[in-house]
Copies of this chain bind each other. A is one copy, B any other.
Amino acid sequence: MNIAEIAKLAGVSPSAVSRYLNQGYLSQEKKEAIRKVIEETGYRPLAHAQALRTRKTKTIGVILPKIDSFSISSIMAGIDSVLERRGFQILLADTHNDPSRELDYLDGFDDQRVDGVIFIGTVFTARHIAMLKKSRVPVVVVGQQLAGVSCVYHDDYHAFYDMTRLMTDKGCRRLGYMGALPQDKAVGQERSRGYCDAVRDAGLEDQAGHIAVADFSVFSGREKARELLEAYGPLDALICATDSVAVGALQYLKSQGIRVPEDIRLTGQGGADLCGVTTPTLTTIRYFYEDSGANAAALLLERLENPETPAKEIKLGYTIVENESTQ
């Protein structure tokens, strides 16, 4: 069942049917005749034929590191809620935490399969930047700030500065930070910079070195907490780059009989349900992941409609949710 058959059944030309589908000039009688035939036959134009001719796919590619993570899937929900409303579909590219595949996917999307790309990246190399700039379709990056590239990101620096400051204001004097690999600029560098600046500004320069590097797992949080405490003696505040790392640290602290928050205050980042169910409940920096996804989608659609608009950066705020772990 194609447009020619519909045309024949309705007694019109294929052009007329196409006009019907795309609201061009058409008399009422023909409109009605075509409508009837389409309804009877259940005809649907082939998406690929349309895409081939119009060079529009109404599809957005999303490149992400791992779909089964709280933050990523929340961002996705935000992206989808905006795109869906505008009739766009999402083509998913999950790198399963293999950054080398990010560029493969970005390259793969360059065959006009998608109208644009949302890139939830982790590690950004020079090649990333180069490919982002030469991409034929517009790209919006989520979670990382990149000069000259449209992006939506969180204010990692100030979030961790504020949280650290909150701890020193409460009188903490021996602090530690558990972060991520520095290749990840947002999570690895900005957050620890926030921590370091805050302890310095509080006159505690000597605490700026109390840093351990974990990955995003509970397990590594437990391990690294041990290393950090063994290396730098008892602390009275531990700032973690993510909730899962903080949960790992909490498990270690409990196992050692170190009380939270009496002996040591503990903080995370994320704001998932997790924070509300630990004992003690976990103080955390809440990011608005759905928001960031929605913003990224809106930004991308804006660029699609008006390709001339220059790159735009959107920095999103955060909220510190104080729970029992820092009372």
Instruction: Tell me the nearest residue of chain B to A49, going by C-beta.
Output: B52
Residue contact B67 to A73, C-beta cutoff 8 Å: yes
Give chain B residues whose Cβ lies under 8 Å from the Cβ of A68: 70, 73-74, 76-77, 290
Q: Are B278 and A277 in contact (CB under 8 A)?
A: yes
A190 to chain B, nearest CB (A): 24
CA separation between A91 and B81, bound complex, in Å?
15
B93→A89 contact, CB < 8 A: yes
Q: What CA separation (Å) do A300 and B63 show in the bound complex?
A: 23
The yes or no answer to A327 lying at the interface (CB within 8 A) is no
Please judge, given known A-B contacts A73-B73, A77-B94, A81-B96, whether A113 and B274 are in contact too, CB under 8 Å: no
Q: How far is the CA of A74 from the CA of B59 in the complex (A)?
A: 23
Chain A: interface residue total (CB-CB under 8 A): 46
Determine whether A147 belongs to the interface, using a CB cutoff of 8 Å to chain B: no
- CB neighbours (8 Å) of A52 from chain B are 46, 48-49, 52
Query: Of B80, B84, B89, B273, which is within 8 A of A247 by CB?
Result: B273
Tell me how far the C-beta of A281 lies from the nearest C-beta in chain B, rounded to whole angstroms.
Answer: 10
Residues from 52 to 73 in A contacting B, C-beta threshold 8 Å: 52, 57, 59, 66-70, 72-73
Q: Contact check, B276 vs A277: say whether CB atoms are below 8 A apart.
A: no
Q: Which residue of B lies closest to A275 (CB)?
A: B277
**Interface residue? A200 (CB, 8 A):** no
23 sampled A-B residue pairs with Cβ under 8 A: A46-B52, A47-B112, A48-B52, A49-B52, A59-B91, A67-B73, A67-B76, A67-B80, A68-B74, A72-B73, A76-B94, A80-B96, A89-B93, A90-B92, A91-B91, A92-B92, A218-B273, A218-B276, A244-B273, A247-B277, A251-B277, A277-B278, A278-B279
